[in-house]
C-alpha cells in the first residue's frame, strides 16, 4: 500500500513510538493547564483586530470554541496518532478553510499553543535537562504535524478551486461565444415574430402558434442570460438588505400554478445581511422556480427563515418527490438537471452567487420533498 500523507509527514519529522509514549506520559502533567492555555489562545485572537473578525459571532462563540480546543489538546496528548487522527484534524482544518480564515493566523495561533505548552513542560522536569529536551522535541514534532495538516487542507481547497476554475474557464469561453452568437438570430426571430403577429391576428390557431414560438424564444433567451451570468461573475453591488424584501420580489417574479401554495415564514424577524439585491433575487427566483416545478399543480412551497449566531438561514422547502441520491452528489454542478426543459444552470449559478456572498447552500433531504438551505452571513 502506498504511504499516506500522514505517514509521510511523520516519517519526515521522525515522529515515532518514542514520541507517542512521551506525549502520553506528558498528558497528566499538561492536562490541568488546558483551560488556561485555551484562555490565552482566544485572548490573543480577540486582541488582534484581523483575527477577531473571523469570529463572526463575536465573543459569544468563544465559550464553545474553548471546549473544542480543550478536546483538541486532549487528543493531541492521548492519540492514537493514526489515519483517523489525520482525518479528524483535516476536518477541523476544513472548518477554518470554510470560514475563510486567512492562513497566517494559523501560524500565529499555533505559536501561542506551542508556547503555552512549552511553559508547562519546561517547569515539569527540574534537574533533568536531557529528559526535558527529548520531551520538548516530541511536543514540537506533533505541533508541527498539526500545522502541516492545517496547511494541507488549505492546499486541498486551492487545488480543487484551481481545477474548478480551469474547467469553468474552458467551459466559459465556449459558452460565452455560443451565447453571443445565438443572441443575434434570436433577436431577428423576435422582430419577425412581432411583424407576423399583426398579420395573423384574425387567425386564432395561427396566433396561438406565434405565441408559443414567442414563449420558446423567451426560454432560449433566459438560458443564454443564465449562461452568460455564470461566466461573467458580475461584481457584487453590496448594500444592507432586508431579506424579506428580496424574497417578496423573487416570489413575485416566478410563475406558479394557481393552486400551488407559496408561503413565506419568519421573514420579518431575521437580521439584515449585506449583499447584492439583484443577484440574491436571482438566487431565490431560481430556487423558488425549481421548488414550484417540483411541487406541481397542487403542491406547497415554503420559505422558512431563521437566524443563528452570525448567519441567516433560508430554507426553501417543497412538497415534491425530493432529489435522488445519485443526483444529490452533483446537484450544484453546471449542466446537471432533472427537468425536461432546463439545461441545469440554475443551481450552479445559485451556489456561485451564494458563495461569493460568503455563504453556503446545501441540500437537506427530508421525509417528503426537498429542502435547500441558504446560509448567509448577517451584516456586521
Ligand atoms: C492552532 C490553531 C487552531 C486550532 C487547533 C483550532 C481548533 C479548532 C477546533 C477544534 C474547532 C472546532 C471544529 C469543529 O466544529 O469540528 C475550531 C473551529 C473554529 N475556529 Fe479554530 N483553531 C485554531 C485556530 C483558529 C484561529 C486563529 C481562529 C480565528 C482567527 C479560529 C476560529 C475558529 C472558528 C470561528 C471556528 C468555528 C467555525 C464554525 O463552527 O463555524 N481558529 N477551531
CATH number for the domain harbouring residue 129: 1.10.490.10
> Does any ligand 1 atom lie closer than 6 A to the CB of residue 151?
no
Mean pLDDT of the chain: 88
Task: Give the residue from 208, 232, 256 where a domain finishes.
Answer: 232
Question: Between the ranges 95-99, 111-115, 267-271, where is the mean pLDDT highest?
Answer: 111-115
Co-location of 158 and 173 in the same domain: no
Least confident of 52-61, 165-174, 295-304, 330-339: 330-339
Co-location of 151 and 173 in the same domain: no
Residue 8 or 327, more confident: 8
Co-location of 207 and 252 in the same domain: no
Percent of the chain with pLDDT over 70: 96
State which residues form the domain around 120: 5-162
Atom of ligand 1 nearest to the CA of 71: 10
- Any idea which residue has 435522488 for its cell? 324
Angstrom distance (rounded) from CA 347 to CA 294: 14
Co-location of 125 and 196 in the same domain: no
Co-location of 194 and 129 in the same domain: no
Co-location of 173 and 213 in the same domain: yes
Percent of the chain with pLDDT over 90: 52
Peptide bond into 80 cis (omega under 30): yes
> Does any ligand 1 atom lie closer than 6 A to the CB of residue 110?
yes
* Cell numbers found for residue 358: 460568503
Angstrom distance (rounded) from CA 221 to CA 210: 16
Task: Give the residue from 112, 128, 162 where a domain finishes.
Answer: 162
Co-location of 146 and 32 in the same domain: yes
Question: Closest Cα to atom 20, ligand 1: which residue?
Answer: 96
> Does any ligand 1 atom lie closer than 6 A to the CB of residue 295?
no
User: Torsions phi, psi of 199, nearest 5?
Assistant: -75, -30
- d(CA 94, ligand 1 centre) in Å: 10
Angstrom distance (rounded) from CA 350 to CA 283: 5
> Does any ligand 1 atom lie closer than 6 A to the CB of residue 145?
no
Co-location of 109 and 184 in the same domain: no
With cut-offs at 50, 70 and 90, classify the pLDDT of residue 337: low
Co-location of 188 and 294 in the same domain: no
Co-location of 183 and 260 in the same domain: no
Burial call 133-159: b when 16+ CB within 10 Å, e when fewer = eebbebbebbbbbbbbbbebbbeeeee
- Who contacts 339 (Cβ-Cβ below 8 Å, separation ≥6)? 290, 293
Could you tell me the CA-to-CA distances from 129 to 133, 197, 320 in Å, in that order? Answer: 6, 96, 70
Co-location of 184 and 43 in the same domain: no
pTM above 0.85, yes or no: no
Question: Between the ranges 183-192, 250-259, 333-342, where is the mean pLDDT highest?
Answer: 183-192
CB 305 within 8 A of CB 314: yes
User: Best of 95, 105, 145 to mutate for ligand 1, by most ligand atoms within 8 A of CB?
Assistant: 95
- d(CA 99, ligand 1 centre) in Å: 9
pLDDT value at residue 344: 60
Angstrom distance (rounded) from CA 312 to CA 305: 7
| Nearest residue to 32 (alpha-carbon basis) of 85, 89, 73 | 73
CATH of the domain at 303: 3.30.565.10
> Does any ligand 1 atom lie closer than 6 A to the CB of residue 243?
no
| Nearest residue to 229 (alpha-carbon basis) of 318, 342, 119, 346 | 346
Q: Tell me the CA end-to-end span of the chain in Å, nearest whole number.
A: 50
User: Best of 45, 57, 96 to mutate for ligand 1, by most ligand atoms within 8 A of CB?
Assistant: 96
**Count of domains observed in the chain:** 3
Computed on alpha carbons and rounded to an integer, the radius of gyration of the chain in Å comes to 28
Question: Closest Cα to atom 35, ligand 1: which residue?
Answer: 55
> Does any ligand 1 atom lie closer than 6 A to the CB of residue 171?
no
Task: Give the residue from 198, 215, 232 where a domain finishes.
Answer: 232
* Cell numbers found for residue 346: 440554475
> Does any ligand 1 atom lie closer than 6 A to the CB of residue 105?
yes
| Nearest residue to 69 (alpha-carbon basis) of 119, 113, 104 | 113
With cut-offs at 50, 70 and 90, classify the pLDDT of residue 91: very high
pLDDT value at residue 379: 85
Co-location of 20 and 147 in the same domain: yes
Q: What's the farthest any 2 CA atoms get from each other in the chain?
A: 107
SS3 317: strand
Amino acid at each position: 500500500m502506498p504511504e499516506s500523507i500522514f505517514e509521510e509527514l511523520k516519517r519526515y519529522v521522525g515522529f515515532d513510538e518514542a514520541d507517542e509514549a512521551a506525549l502520553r506520559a506528558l498528558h497528566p502533567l499538561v492536562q490541568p493547564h488546558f483551560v488556561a492555555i485555551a484562555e490565552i489562545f482566544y485572548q490573543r485572537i480577540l486582541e488582534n483586530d484581523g483575527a477577531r473578525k473571523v469570529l463572526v459571532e463575536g465573543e459569544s462563540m468563544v465559550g464553545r470554541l474553548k471546549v473544542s480546543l480543550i478536546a483538541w489538546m486532549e487528543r493531541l496528548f492521548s492519540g492514537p496518532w493514526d489515519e483517523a487522527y489525520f482525518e479528524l484534524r483535516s476536518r477541523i482544518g476544513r472548518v477554518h478553510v470554510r470560514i475563510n480564515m486567512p492562513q497566517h493566523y494559523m501560524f500565529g495561533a499555533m505559536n501561542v499553543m506551542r508556547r503555552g505548552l512549552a511553559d508547562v513542560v519546561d517547569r515539569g522536569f527540574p534537574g533533568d535537562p536531557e529528559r526535558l529536551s527529548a520531551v520538548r522535541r516530541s511536543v514540537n514534532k506533533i505541533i508541527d504535524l498539526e500545522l502541516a495538516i492545517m496547511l494541507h487542507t488549505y492546499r486541498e481547497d486551492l487545488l480543487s478551486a484551481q481545477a474548478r476554475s480551469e474547467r469553468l474557464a474552458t467551459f466559459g469561453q465556449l459558452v460565452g461565444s455560443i451565447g453571443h452568437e445565438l443572441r443575434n438570430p434570436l433577436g431577428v426571430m423576435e422582430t419577425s415574430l412581432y411583424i407576423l403577429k399583426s398579420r395573423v391576428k384574425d387567425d386564432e390557431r395561427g396566433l396561438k402558434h406565434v405565441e408559443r414560438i414567442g414563449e420558446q424564444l423567451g426560454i432560449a433567451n433566459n438560458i443564454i442570460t443564465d449562461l452568460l451570468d455564470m461566466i461573467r461573475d458580475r461584481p457584487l453591488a453590496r448594500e444592507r438588505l432586508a431579506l424579506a424584501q428580496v424574497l417578496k420580489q423573487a416570489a413575485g417574479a416566478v410563475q406558479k400554478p394557481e393552486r400551488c401554495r407559496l408561503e413565506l415564514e419568519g421573514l420579518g424577524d431575521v437580521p439584515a445581511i449585506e449583499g447584492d439585491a439583484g443577484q440574491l433575487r436571482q438566487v431565490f427566483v431560481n430556487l423558488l422556480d425549481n421548488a414550484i416545478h417540483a411541487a406541481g399543480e397542487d403542491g406547497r412551497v415554503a420559505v422558512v427563515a431563521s437566524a443563528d449566531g452570525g448567519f441567516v438561514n433560508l430554507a426553501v422547502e417543497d412538497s415534491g418527490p425530493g432529489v435522488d441520491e445519485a443526483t444529490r452528489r452533483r446537484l450544484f454542478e453546471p449542466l446537471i438537471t432533472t427537468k425536461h426543459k432546463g439545461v441545469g444552470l440554475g443551481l450552479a449559478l445559485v451556489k456561485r452567487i451564494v458563495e461569493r456572498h460568503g455563504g453556503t447552500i446545501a441540500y437537506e433531504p427530508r421525509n417528503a420533498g426537498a429542502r435547500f438551505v441558504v446560509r448567509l452571513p448577517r451584516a456586521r
